[in-house]
Amino acid sequence: MQHAVGAPLPPPQGPGSGPVGWTHQAQHPGQPGPPPTTPPAPPAPRGWSGPAPQHAPAPPSRKTTGHVQLPPGGPVPLPAPPAGPGTGSATLAVLLIGPAGAGKTTVAKLWASRRRVPTAHVSLDDVREWVCSGFADPQSGWNDHSEAQYRLARRTCGFAARNFLANGISCILDDAVFPDRPVVGLGGWKRHVGPGLLPVVLLPGLEIVLERNAARSGNRRLSDEEVARIHGRMAGWYGSGLPIIDNSTYDVETTARVLDDILARSIASPPSW
């Protein structure tokens, strides 16, 4: 059979010769074809060998993040006591306090990863080091710039914790909070996060933190004198009413399990701080 020059060839006949789900219907001259099931795509540019360009999707609403409406983050209230042992499925905000080398970050990460509900870990040191150009390292001298960057990092961590909690995700933060500076330390965290924040102190012996500090590198490693000074100031938490874990003889898994038990008791009977 002859076909006009430039006219499309008919699809091949026979079973299995066409695309899956496609059926050919004869079309006679003068008879309208079946209505299209999808709107035609815009014509491809001259010389373009790829698929025809599609229309760009409509931009998302300014009030949404992706397709999910996020609730605003507010002060974190005290969680309800868990029904079983440990913290269970409670949504809570935790502040893990301790000197350099206490193992705060390692314990916080493990505790967060082992929970049965979504839980985030926010480290103050990590957030503080988001500043690249102009980073004020306290090891080079404590001044107004380092103080301001610490305050800004704490406030940023507090915002993050409140947003996580507002969206049903628990959060554990870690920081070296000194008991003799309640306004910028524990009081500041309570102001940034809310009254439901549960503080726990991680305080191993001096020889343990010295050993762990010696294994560090970069600006995370402090001098032995600085580590001893920080550890001595942390001893002021004894008698404060906050729960304290001496993890000198605990491995990370044991410390995380003890932390969970202490948090369950703190939920049932919140510490006065």
Mean of pLDDT values over 205-228: 83
The pLDDT, as a whole number, for residue 20 is 44
253: pLDDT strictly greater than 90: yes
Percent of the chain with pLDDT over 90: 34
Taking Cα atoms as reference points, which of 155, 153, 96 lies closest to residue 127? 153
* 9-18, 88-97, 129-138: the lowest-pLDDT one: 9-18
Taking Cα atoms as reference points, which of 170, 160, 167 lies closest to residue 192? 160
Q: Record the tokens describing residue 68, joined without a space.
A: 């999910």
The pLDDT, as a whole number, for residue 169 is 95
Mean of pLDDT values over 186-206: 90
3-state secondary structure the chain: CCCCCCCCCCCCCCCCCCCCCCCCCCCCCCCCCCCCCCCCCCCCCCCCCCCCCCCCCCCCCCCCECCECCCCCCCCCCCCCCCCCCCCCCCCEEEEECCCCCCHHHHHHHHHHHCCCCEEEEEHHHHHCCCCCCCCCHHHCCCHHHHHHHHHHHHHHHHHHHHHHHCCCEEEEEECCCCCCCCCCHHHHHHHHCCCCEEEEECCCHHHHHHHHHCCCHHHCCCHHHHHHHHHHHHHHCCCCCCEECCCCCCHHHHHHHHHHHHHHHHHCCCCC
pLDDT, tens digit (0-9, with 9 covering 90-100), for 43-86: 655 655 656 656 666 665 555 555 556 566 666 555 555 555 67
3: pLDDT strictly greater than 50: no
Residue 128 phi, psi (nearest 5): -60, -35
pLDDT, tens digit (0-9, with 9 covering 90-100), for 261-271: 999 988 887 76
260: pLDDT strictly greater than 60: yes
The pLDDT, as a whole number, for residue 252 is 96
Percent of the chain with pLDDT over 70: 64
pLDDT, tens digit (0-9, with 9 covering 90-100), for 141-181: 677 888 888 888 999 999 999 999 999 999 999 998 988 87
**Residue 54: CA atoms inside 13 Å, Cβ hemisphere, count?**
6
The pLDDT, as a whole number, for residue 70 is 59
Q: Which residue has the higher pLDDT, 230 or 8?
A: 230
Q: Which residue has the higher pLDDT, 119 or 224?
A: 119
Residues 230, 142, 191: CA angle, nearest 5 degrees: 75
If pLDDT is split at 50, 70 and 90, which confidence band does 117 have? very high
The pLDDT, as a whole number, for residue 162 is 92
pLDDT, tens digit (0-9, with 9 covering 90-100), for 62-73: 555 555 565 666
Mean pLDDT of all residues belonging to the chain: 78
If pLDDT is split at 50, 70 and 90, which confidence band does 243 have? very high
CA distance 165 to 144: 32
Rounded to a whole number of angstroms, the distance between the first and last alpha carbons of the chain is: 93
CA distance 135 to 146: 8
CA distance 268 to 262: 10
Q: Global pTM?
A: 0.67
Residue whose structure tokens are 């059926």: 23
Q: For residues 93 and 198, is the Cβ–Cβ distance under 8 A?
A: yes
Residues 6+ apart with CB under 8 A from 187: none
